[in-house]
Structure 1
Amino acid sequence: MLRAQRARAILLIGSGFQDPAWERSLESEIAPYLRGGGRVAVVSRHRSLRVDTVLPENRAGAAALARALLGLGHREFGVLAGPARLTTVADRLTGFRQGLAEAGVPLADERVVEGAFTRDGGYAAASELLRRAPRPTCVFAVTDVMAVGALAAFRDHGLRVPQDISLAGFDDIPLVRELTPPLTTVALPLTGMGRAALDLALREPRGPRSRVERIVGEVRIRASTGTPG
């Protein structure tokens, strides 16, 4: 549809998929648009595309968060993950595992619960995690939106955050600073990332249009995490 409308630029904002068939389909749609002079920029990792990219360092950010939570004394973790075929989920989960592994702390597969990338998905995944004994002392939700749902689930199950269980997210959407308690997270400059993608798409052509701008996240420890009880 965008090709037919002769859009000047296309921005793909959001996770790619670790799905070869999906990747081939996307590439087949993008290639003729690029050959016709169209411009494309993406945010996040899209494995099959050679286009301008704003790439958040999801693995490094999640690994840094794991090290920070280990520094608080946690050794028993759970993870609320979105759909496994999303590159964002795969990168954040891999980075978190790597950060734990550096300290010799394993993360068993049964401690990772997949859910929808939504508030309700986070609620359902957190509720499922609590049904799997033993209960972790700290939970990492791979996106803040899921963490919001997890916070509600913990309260509905009679758990205090962080006295009974700590909770951390990823992205630093504005809402999480207003929660009670405010959410520990990995902050990404979300508005700046969108602006950077637009700037890449609209810049004048100079050589191959496959520039990569890497965005480093910053761990922000807030009151939703504390030392294990």
Structure 2
Amino acid sequence: MRSSRTTPRLADVANAAGVSIATASRAMAGATGVSEGVADRVRRTAEQLGYVANVHARSLAGGSSTTVGLVVHEIGDPYFSEIASGVLDLASGRGLTVQICHTGRDPESELRQIRSLVAHRVGALVIAGSGFVDASLEATARAELEQYAAAGGRVAVIGRHHLRADAVLPDNLEGARSVTSHLLGLGHTAIAVAAGSRTLTTVADRLAGVQAALGDAGLDPGAVPVVEAPFTRDGGRECASRILAEHPATTAILALNDDMAIGCLTQLRRDGVSVPGRVSVTGFDDVAVAGDLAPGLTTVRLPMAEMGRRALELALREPGKRPRRSPVGAELVVRDSTGPVGSFVVDATTGAVAAAGRRT
């Protein structure tokens, strides 16, 4: 019996032998917990398929690997830079080297990077950044990671829903609810959202928090415009321009990450729009520069470096019977980019702005 793949995987052996990947892995390694009859069947199947055991994924557990892999979406995004700093800090203390890969939020690129790191015999993998609402986009990566883990590799993820692994999970929903409630408390009801692609689970979760706060206040969540652009600084500039052009009565822009919020502030400054006098702006993450901006950015704080450390700690532990979960709280940080609704009037038709009591 031959697999249709050029290079058969352990998963192919397990499927052909009618056992789980974990059982196939133990059988190939000669480990205890597998009956001799089952072990013989697995080994015969592996021989028939031409499978050669790849033992490099066991190397960290055996003490022979000093390299771990870190997969991030955008290394230039301060969110991922700060997560990476936490991973690097812990790795340095453990005498480990970190190999970092960048995916650009592309599931195919992510899969290639995972395969590349495994091929380079890293002993553990940390995967940071949003997954995809459509679980099928991650199905192949999940299978690869399960095979890697079954062969002895260690895996932990940050902010992912569909990858079956130990996970550090920031509270995106409650964080977004809190920052939306802050804007509502300042009198803002003409709110627009600057969002990344709604195909990303992080965007979906944060939008759910925004909508929950609007619903709690008796407002129609569907009436709040959501403008999508790349989840980057350039995307934030694009969103700010579109919001002012398409929704001129907007008094607050709620950006779903700090990178977008910084882009919004840049574009508003270029357009001569006062923040927070004319438009308030909020972000999410509390990257290191958020407090140094002018004005300082109101945002939701996540302990990103700590999230990186926690994820690597999980990956370096002996695997549990079930994936472990490490929840991370989100804290509202109020700075100068938000204020009460200003004393101005916006003509909803022309977008013209005038002081209260006058019409342009």
Q: TM above 0.5, one fold?
A: yes
Q: Distance in 1 between matches of 2:340 and 2:135?
A: 42
Q: Does 1:221 align with 2:334?
A: yes
Q: Does 1:202 align with 2:316?
A: yes
What's the CA shift for 1:171?
0.1
Q: Which is greater in Rg?
A: 2
State how 1:143-158 maps to structure 2 within 5 Å. Answer: 143-158=257-272
Q: Is the 8 A contact 2:146 2:164 kept in 1?
A: no
The DSSP-based 3-state class of the residue aligned with 1:55 is strand
Q: Distance in 2 between matches of 1:110 and 1:58?
A: 19
What's the CA shift for 1:209?
4.7
Q: Does 1:177 align with 2:291?
A: yes
Q: Does 1:136 align with 2:250?
A: yes
Q: Distance in 1 between matches of 2:223 and 2:184?
A: 19
1:20 matched residue in structure 2: 135
What's the CA shift for 1:156?
1.9
Q: Does 1:46 align with 2:165?
A: no
2:191 matched residue in structure 1: 77
The DSSP-based 3-state class of the residue aligned with 1:53 is strand
Q: Distance in 1 between matches of 2:219 and 2:267?
A: 26
Q: Does 1:4 align with 2:124?
A: no
What's the CA shift for 1:45?
2.3
Q: Distance in 2 between matches of 1:54 and 1:165?
A: 34
Tell me, which stretches of 5 or more residues in structure 1 are unaligned? Answer: none
Q: Distance in 2 between matches of 1:209 and 1:201?
A: 13
Tell me, which stretches of 5 or more residues in structure 2 are unaligned? Answer: 1-115, 343-360
Q: Report sequence identity in percent.
A: 47
- Describe the shift of the 1:199–1:171 C-alpha distance in structure 2 as closer, same or farther (beyond 3 A): same
Q: Is the 8 A contact 2:261 2:283 kept in 1?
A: yes
Amino acid at match of 1:192: E
Aligned residues: 227
- Describe the shift of the 1:110–1:101 C-alpha distance in structure 2 as closer, same or farther (beyond 3 A): closer
Q: Is 149-158 or 173-182 further displaced after alignment?
A: 149-158
What's the CA shift for 1:120?
0.8
- C-alpha RMSD of the superposition: 1.3
2:231 matched residue in structure 1: 117
Amino acid at match of 2:308: G
Amino acid at match of 1:218: E
Give per-residue Cα distances to partners, 1:76-116, cap 9 Å, x unaligned: 10000001111111100111111111001223467110011
What's the CA shift for 1:75?
1.1
Q: Is the 8 A contact 2:191 2:224 kept in 1?
A: no
What's the CA shift for 1:6?
2.5
Off by >4 Å, runs of 4+ in structure 1: none
Q: Does 1:36 align with 2:144?
A: no
